[in-house]
Each structure stands twice: as structure tokens, then as C-alpha cells.
């Protein structure tokens, strides 16, 4: 921003200065002819840099004093003027820097860390504001004479670009073996590409984290990576291709997906596999899509241009369920059992930041993971908090935190699952500290989930006590609904379909398939899925045949159901018949908790169709069910049954499963998957439409993890609109639990 201001001020013959403020605002003082200043302000508005975002421009005219002889960039100030700060995310390498890297005559030729004022690391390198080189991790590398000339030349695009460097003064790459011994080679990048082509697994340290890379065309390479990761039996790997032409060799990409994948954010985008898909099926086993990204750093480009394959695996460099390793010592020690070689550099990563993940549905983005390229950009809302600020600490799984200041929510990068992993818990704490520091917030309110046993709940309780601030507990699905309303600028109640795996309900039971009359400060439960037993609790989430047994047990006599299970589903019980009998015993004694979870019902359908009998990653049975449905036709007649009991609509999911079972032997699995999904979506939509008609509400929203399902999303949207009601959905905030912290902050602000 400041170099841009300098150039247009000098162009119009103005004197004065520009400086950064401590909250990411910019102050400009100019003197000169009024007409020149007016032209300057016009250019300031019209010609702004690609990445600049103006909250507002305040102009104050004063009498001419002749205070300045030149225009210059002054040292940054700690002073702030904004309602809340704005910190830039990491930005993918720009076309000009890429051209420099590929130009043999340029001194940046083949230099992996080339950047300018328009691209490169931001969030992951910033230690504190104001954003100046001295307060970033690049400060360790003093500018050489050549870079200093660029840095001080107002006509150069690297003028006052804080992250610039070159082969003389910048970070260096080193290749190591798995024992941490240096491998002497003339070109570490070329050697890395060679090793990948030989089928080796490489750990590659990048901008905000580390990737594990290997070939995508050889099953054995992908399977070896899965073996080493141990718990990564089927969970899909992200892949990276050099350009769009390479992607089109194995995937279908439409204009909306192309827009997302080529943006400066460079997220992973879920793309449908093409008919001529030529990569290993082990990359995303059983799925119809694959997560793809384009290079976002010079290092990526330099590696990929030397590899013939259409793509390489580029998955997060971590042992399963742990945060990514980011320091060189961590990478070698933690990933030594995973990687054969390590390509590392000596620039510190201050904040780890996973790749973002997007799915495009009906031309609209669904953010699965909002992280690199987005964070820490704020989300503006119509809700404004009058206090100092709110810290919302998120849920237990796929956690993020959010800081709210005035009308802005600042969601953090992806943190991960906080169910007992000490490294992830420490990461959660460090993210809280960093986002509070960068947003200049000392919270006077903290929000958490209603569940009493979550780590985040206990963290919030301790934080509230130690900081002597108020604690607000927010019901899980209320948070889902509130974030949806805030994102869509809704200021009146809606009917919300909250459909996910698990959330602690107001009645102390497990919710997950809810029809809620929602405002920012209240929810009323008007409908839900039929409560179903969860024999063995969490064991029913890992082994969906348990849920299948529980759901069908009411419709089918035990002896008959036992025969069906022994004949067709014994593989779904970890310990075979013995475990099956334990489940029946639990059901007989009614020694179980119940759930209205959408996820558990979809899991049970997946088990019934023998698509997935064991969950090896979050959401797997439902995700694989959706993929199977894409290969089928939803023409099989399955009618959802809705009843009203004690003033609430209830969707009979036992009948749904039994109807599918009765049609099992006469139909294809893909057709049953598609028709079962359709009936499930229709049941949710019918309950929502009925409650909207009875309450006079004109808007229905859809949120929760099930909102990632393309078919279910489209069916609900179609039915709602056919009934002349407004349908709202997510585009900026994750529909799943990764967006919960935003909803917690919104509800707390209205508390």
C-alpha cells in the first residue's frame, strides 16, 4: 500500500508522508495544489493495489503550511485508528515474480523464495504489528545491496516489500536424509524432483507448514505413505499440479472451480474425477472426487516443472491428528518415520497454517477448511459488539477460534481435533495468543460450547476465571444457525436446518438433525430426527453397523435381525458375533444414550449398503455414501414419514432404513444410495417447510457438516424455493464445525 501511495503522490507533485499504523490502518499527509490532491484521492480510490482493502477513507482538509519538501515513507506508528485491525493472509506467488524465477537472465532465477509487494508470506511470518520487516521472521536475513536498491526504489515493485530477498541474502534450501544428515548436491530442488520421480517420499518445508510429497501415478507410493501414516488408511490425500492443463488430464473443472483454484488464495478444490482419470485410486479411495491445488510458492513451481506426472501428492506433513511440524528439528524428529528425505530451509515459520479446502456447489463455494490464503482476514457482520472484544474458543473437533471486535469476526486457521492430543492443545493456546495479539484485543467476554466435558469448555472456564471476565455457553446448533444468519446479514428469525454428526443438546442428549426457530439470542426446537440408540456410545460412530442394528431393532424382531446381520454384516463388528451379541444385550437393557444425529443415520445407510463398515476418518461413511450416490439414479420411491408429537415434528429414520432394506436385493447400490439420500433430504426439507408455514417465517437456512453434501444441498434448496420461501446457505464460513467459533462469538455478542 505505501509504495503505491508514494508513487501517485510523487506523480501529482505532492509532498508529505505515508506510514503504517499499529492496527493495519494507513495515515497519509500530503501538501500541494487542491486539484492535485483531488486527483491523488481519485487515484487512491481507483488504482489501488490488487490486495488492498479499504475499510473507509477519511479526508480532512487543512490550510497549507509548507511543512514538507519531499514525499516519503515514514517509520510505522503503534497508534491505531480503526475499529478493528486487518492483517493480510499469505498470498500466492504473482505472475511477475514467477516470470523472474523462470528468467535465466534475472538474478532471482530459480530462487524459491522470490516475492514482491504483491505476493508472498504475510500471516505466517508476522510476529506483531505494524507489518514491517523487523517484526517478521524474514528480519533474520539482512538485505543485500541489490535487494536494498529495489527496496528503496519507488519505481520498483519491490519498494518497501517486507519479505523480499534473493539468492545472495535470503533463505537457503538444504536436502537431508531421514537421519538428518546433509546431502551435498548442486541443486537441492532438482534432486528433490528426481527423488520424487524415483518413488521416494519427501518432506518439503514451505511457507506456512510442511508437505509430504510422492508420486500420484504409482499405487505403491501412495500405499506406502498410508502405511507409514498408520491411521491414514483411506482418508484422501491432497495433490498439486503445475497448471490447469495438467489438472484436466484427470479431473473435470468448471469455470467456478477454475476461478477458485487460480485465485491468490490457492486453496485445495475438490474436483470430480474425469472418465480418463489416470492417477492412483489410492489417493481418494471410494470417492468420486479428488482435492487439487496449484502451486502457490516459487518452490512448488520449481519442483513441479521438473516432474512429468500430472500431479504429485502434497499432503500435510504431520503424524495423524497432530499439528503440522514447522521447525527443522520438529520436521526431522516427528516425520523421520514418514519421509525418506527432507527439503528444508532456514526461514522460521511463526504460525503454521494448513492449506484451505473448498468445494463448489451450484456455482457457490463451500469452505471445508478456511486457513491459508484466508486467515486472518475478517468476516464483517451486521452484529456489532459494544464491549472490548470476544474470544470464542470453538468446538472439540476440527476446531478454530474466533476473535470478535466491533462488527468483525476474525476466525483463526485450522487447529484440529482437541480430544486429548497435547500438541494440538498447545497449538490451540498459541493460536489464541497470536490472534488476540494481531487483533489488539483484550477480551471482556469469552464464549464456548455447551458441552461440559470439552477441552475448550474447560479452557474457557479457566480463562474467564483468570481474566475475571464473563463466560457465555452456546449450544452447538445455535452457533451453527447464528453463523449462517450473520453471514447472510439476516436480522430476523429463520427456520434453520442444522444437520451434522454431534452436538450437545439443550436437554442433555446428543442432537444432530434439528429444525430450529432461531434468532441470535434464542433457539426453539420445532422438529428433529427420531432419537436413536447409540450402543456403546462413540463405538457407534466408528462402527456404523452398530447404528444400523440399533435403528432397525425397533422394526425387525431380534432373531430375524440377527440372521440378517450374520449373513451380510458380520464384518461390520470388530469382534464378530461376540460383539454383535453385546450390542443386542445393550439394546435389550436400554443401556445407551440416544441421538438425533444426521451423521449417524447417513452412516447407517452407508453400512446397510455395505459401502463403509468402519470409519477411518471423520465423516467417511457419509462421504463414501455420497460418492456411491453419484454413480446411481435417485428414481427409487422412498417416502419419508413425518409425524408430530408433543408439538414437534419427528422424521422416522427407522422406517427410512427399513424401506431401503426391503428394496436392497432388487436394486443397484448406487441407485439406493442416491434414493436414500434424496428421501433423507426431503424429510429434513418437509419438516422445515411445515414449521415455516406454521410460524410465518419466510427464510429457511441449511447448516452443519451435512451441508457439504451436494445432492442433499440441492434437494433441500429446490424444495424450499418451490414453496416460495427464501433459502440461505454458507459461502464465507465453513458449514461444519470449523465455523462454530464464529457462531459462538455472534451469539455471545447478543447475549
Confirm whether 574 is domain-assigned: yes
Determine the Cα–Cα distance for residues 604 and 585; give it in Å rounded to an integer.
19
- The CATH number of residue 213's host domain is 3.90.870.40
Residue 111 Cα distances to 169, 243, 476, angstroms: 11, 19, 47
Give 622-654 as a DSSP string: HHHHHHHHHTS---S-----EEEETTEEEE-HH
Confirm whether 367 is domain-assigned: no
Q: Give counts: helices (H), strands (E), the chain.
A: 23, 29
Q: Helix (H, G, I), strand (E, B), or coil: what is residue 377?
A: coil
Same domain, 535 and 405: no
Across residues 55-77, what is the average pLDDT? Answer: 90
Q: Determine whether 36 is exposed, middle or buried from the number of CB atoms within 10 Å of its CB (0-12, 13-18, 19+).
A: middle
Confirm whether 120 is domain-assigned: no
Same domain, 319 and 435: no
> For residues 129, 133, 138 and 144, what is the CA-based torsion angle, rounded to 10 degrees?
180
Q: By C-alpha distance, which of 515, 527, 592, 514 is closest to 553?
A: 592
Same domain, 484 and 338: no
Same domain, 313 and 408: no
How many domains are there within the chain? 4
Same domain, 320 and 415: no
State which residues form the domain around 34. 2-73
Same domain, 331 and 395: no
E strands, 217-301, in order: 239-240, 251-252, 268-273, 289-293
CA-based torsion, 49, 137, 18, 73: positive or negative: negative
Q: Say what the pLDDT of residue 473 is.
A: 98
At 160-169, the pLDDT tens digits run 899 999 999 9
Residue 116 Cα distances to 96, 124, 160, 200, angstroms: 9, 16, 9, 33
pLDDT bin (cut points 50, 70, 90) of residue 130 is confident
- The CATH number of residue 26's host domain is 3.30.70.100
Confirm whether 85 is domain-assigned: no
Of 57, 73, 89, the one marking the end of a domain is: 73
Determine the Cα–Cα distance for residues 88 and 376; give it in Å rounded to an integer.
7
Of 324, 357, 390, the one marking the end of a domain is: 357
Phi-psi region of 590 (alpha: psi -120 to 50; beta: other; left: phi over 0): left
Confirm whether 264 is domain-assigned: yes
Say whether the peptide bond before residue 130 is cis (omega within 30 degrees of 0).
yes
CB-based contacts of 714, cutoff 8 Å, min separation 6: 361, 362
Same domain, 206 and 281: yes
- The CATH number of residue 535's host domain is 3.30.420.40
- The CATH number of residue 434's host domain is 3.30.420.360
At 611-665, the pLDDT tens digits run 999 999 999 999 999 999 999 999 999 999 999 999 999 999 999 999 999 999 9
% of the chain beyond a pLDDT of 90: 90
pLDDT bin (cut points 50, 70, 90) of residue 300 is very high
Residue 82 has pLDDT above 80, yes or no: no
> Strands 522-529 and 510-519, how do they pair?
antiparallel
Same domain, 478 and 515: no
Residue 548 has pLDDT above 60, yes or no: yes
| 8 Å CB contact between 486 and 383 | yes
Q: Helix (H, G, I), strand (E, B), or coil: what is residue 712?
A: helix
Same domain, 600 and 690: yes
Same domain, 564 and 694: yes
Report the mean per-residue pLDDT for the chain.
95
Q: Helix (H, G, I), strand (E, B), or coil: what is residue 557?
A: coil
Of 30, 56, 73, the one marking the end of a domain is: 73
Same domain, 719 and 742: no
At 549-564, the pLDDT tens digits run 999 999 999 999 999 9
Q: Say what the pLDDT of residue 23 is.
A: 62
Residue 718 has pLDDT above 80, yes or no: yes
Query: What grid cell was written down for 4?
Result: 503505491
Confirm whether 573 is domain-assigned: yes
Same domain, 440 and 515: no
DSSP H or E stretch at residue 659: helix 653-662
Determine the Cα–Cα distance for residues 237 and 291; give it in Å rounded to an integer.
7
| 8 Å CB contact between 554 and 592 | no
DSSP H or E stretch at residue 380: strand 379-380
Confirm whether 187 is domain-assigned: yes
Confirm whether 55 is domain-assigned: yes
Amino acid at each position: 500500500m505505501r509504495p503505491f501511495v508514494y508513487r501517485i503522490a510523487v506523480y501529482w507533485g505532492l509532498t508529505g508522508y505515508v506510514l503504517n499504523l499499529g492496527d493495519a490502518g494507513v495515515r497519509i499527509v500530503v501538501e500541494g495544489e487542491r486539484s492535485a490532491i483531488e486527483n491523488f484521492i481519485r487515484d487512491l480510490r481507483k488504482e489501488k493495489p490488487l490486495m488492498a482493502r479499504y475499510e473507509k477513507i477519511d479526508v480532512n482538509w487543512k490550510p497549507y503550511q509548507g511543512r514538507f519538501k519531499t514525499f516519503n515513507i515514514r517509520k510505522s506508528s503503534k497508534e491505531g485508528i480503526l475499529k478493528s485491525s486487518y492483517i493480510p493472509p499469505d498470498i500466492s506467488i504473482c505472475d511477475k515474480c514467477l516470470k523472474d524465477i523462470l528468467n535465466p537472465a534475472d538474478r532471482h532465477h530459480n530462487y524459491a523464495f522470490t516475492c514482491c509487494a504483491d505476493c508472498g508470506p504475510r500471516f505466517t511470518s508476522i510476529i506483531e504489528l505494524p507489518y514491517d520487516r523487523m517484526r517478521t521472521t524474514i528480519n533474520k536475513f539482512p538485505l543485500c545491496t541489490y535487494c536494498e536498491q529495489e527496496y528503496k526504489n519507488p519505481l520498483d515493485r519491490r519498494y518497501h516489500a517486507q519479505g523480499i530477498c534473493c539468492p545472495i541474502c535470503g533463505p537457503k534450501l538444504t536436502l537431508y536424509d531421514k537421519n538428518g544428515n546433509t546431502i551435498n548436491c548442486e541443486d537441492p530442488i532438482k534432486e528433490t524432483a528426481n527423488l520424487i520421480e524415483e518413488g521416494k517420499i519427501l518432506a518439503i518445508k514451505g511457507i506456512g507448514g510442511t508437505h509430504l510429497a510422492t508420486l500420484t501415478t504409482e499405487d505403491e507410493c501412495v500405499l506406502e505413505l498410508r502405511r507409514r501414516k498408520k491411521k491414514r488408511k483411506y482418508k484422501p490425500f491432497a495433490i498439486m499440479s503445475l497448471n490447469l492443463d495438467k489438472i484436466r488430464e484427470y479431473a473435470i473443472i468448471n469455470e467456478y472451480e477454475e476461478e477458485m483454484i487460480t485465485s491468490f488464495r490457492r486453496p485445495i478444490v475438490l474436483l470430480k474425477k474425469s472418465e480418463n482419470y489416470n492417477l492412483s485410486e489410492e489417493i481418494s479411495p471410494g470417492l468420486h472426487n479428488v482435492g487439487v491445488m496449484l502451486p502457490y510458492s516459487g518452490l512448488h513451481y520449481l519442483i513441479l516443472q521438473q516432474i512429468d506426472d500430472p500431479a504429485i501428492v502434497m499432503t500435510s506433513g504431520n503424524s495423524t491428528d497432530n499439528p503440522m511440524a514447522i521447525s527443522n528439528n520438529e520436521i526431522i524428529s516427528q516425520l523421520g518415520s514418514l519421509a525418506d528425505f527432507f527439503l528444508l530451509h532456514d526461514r522460521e515459520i511463526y504460525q503454521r497454517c494448513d492449506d484451505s479446502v473448498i468445494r463448489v456447489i451450484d456455482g457457490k463455494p463451500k469452505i471445508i477448511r478456511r486457513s491459508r490464503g484466508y486467515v486472518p482476514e475478517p468476516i464483517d457482520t451486521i452484529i456489532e459488539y459494544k464491549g472490548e472484544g470476544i474470544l470464542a474458543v470453538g468446538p472439540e473437533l476440527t476446531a478454530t477460534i474466533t476473535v470478535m471486535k466491533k462488527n468483525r469476526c476474525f476466525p483463526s486457521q485450522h487447529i484440529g481435533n482437541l480430544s486429548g492430543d497435547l500438541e494440538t492443545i498447545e497449538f490451540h493456546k498459541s493460536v489464541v495468543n497470536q490472534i488476540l495479539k494481531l487483533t489488539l484485543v483484550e477480551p471482556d467476554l469469552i464464549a464456548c460450547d455447551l458441552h461440559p466435558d470439552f477441552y475448550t469448555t474447560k479452557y474457557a472456564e479457566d480463562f474467564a476465571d483468570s481474566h475475571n471476565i464473563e463466560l457465555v455457553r452456546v449450544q452447538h446448533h445455535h452457533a451453527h444457525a447464528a453463523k449462517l444468519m450473520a453471514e447472510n446479514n439476516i436480522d430476523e428469525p429463520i427456520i434453520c436446518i442444522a444437520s451434522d454428526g454431534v452436538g450437545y443438546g439443550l436437554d442433555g442428549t446428543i442432537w444432530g438433525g434439528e429444525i430450529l426457530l432461531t434468532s441470535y439470542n434464542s433457539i426453539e426446537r420445532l422438529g428433529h430426527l427420531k432419537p436413536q440408540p447409540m450402543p456403546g456410545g462413540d463405538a457407534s460412530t466408528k462402527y456404523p453397523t452398530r447404528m444400523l442394528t440399533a435403528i432397525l431393532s425397533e422394526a425387525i424382531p431380534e432373531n430375524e435381525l440377527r440372521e440378517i446381520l450374520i449373513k451380510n454384516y458380520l464384518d461390520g463388528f470388530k469382534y464378530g458375533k461376540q460383539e454383535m451379541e453385546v450390542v443386542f444385550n445393550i439394546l435389550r437393557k436400554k443401556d445407551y444414550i440416544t441421538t438425533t444425529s444426521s451423521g449417524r443415520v447417513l452412516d447407517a445407510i452407508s453400512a446397510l449398503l455395505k459401502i463403509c463398515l468402519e470409519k477411518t476418518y471423520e465423516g467417511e461413511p457419509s462421504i463414501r455414501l455420497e460418492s456411491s450416490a453419484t454413480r446411481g439414479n435417485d428414481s427409487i420411491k422412498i417416502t419419508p414419514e413425518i409425524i408430530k408429537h408433543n408439538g414437534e415434528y419427528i422424521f422416522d429414520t427407522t422406517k427410512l432404513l427399513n424401506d431401503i432394506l426391503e428394496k436392497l436385493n432388487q436394486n443397484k447400490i448406487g441407485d439406493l444410495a442416491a434414493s436414500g439420500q434424496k428421501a433423507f433430504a426431503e424429510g429434513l426439507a418437509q419438516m422445515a417447510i411445515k414449521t415455516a408455514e406454521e410460524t410465518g417465517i419466510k427464510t429457511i437456512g441449511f447448516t452443519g457438516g451435512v451441508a457439504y453434501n451436494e445432492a442433499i444441498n440441492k434437494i433441500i434448496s429446490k424444495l424450499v424455493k418451490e414453496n416460495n420461501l427464501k433459502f440461505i446457505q454458507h459461502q464465507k464460513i465453513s458449514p461444519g464445525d470449523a465455523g462454530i467459533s464464529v457462531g459462538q462469538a455472534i451469539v455471545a455478542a447478543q447475549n
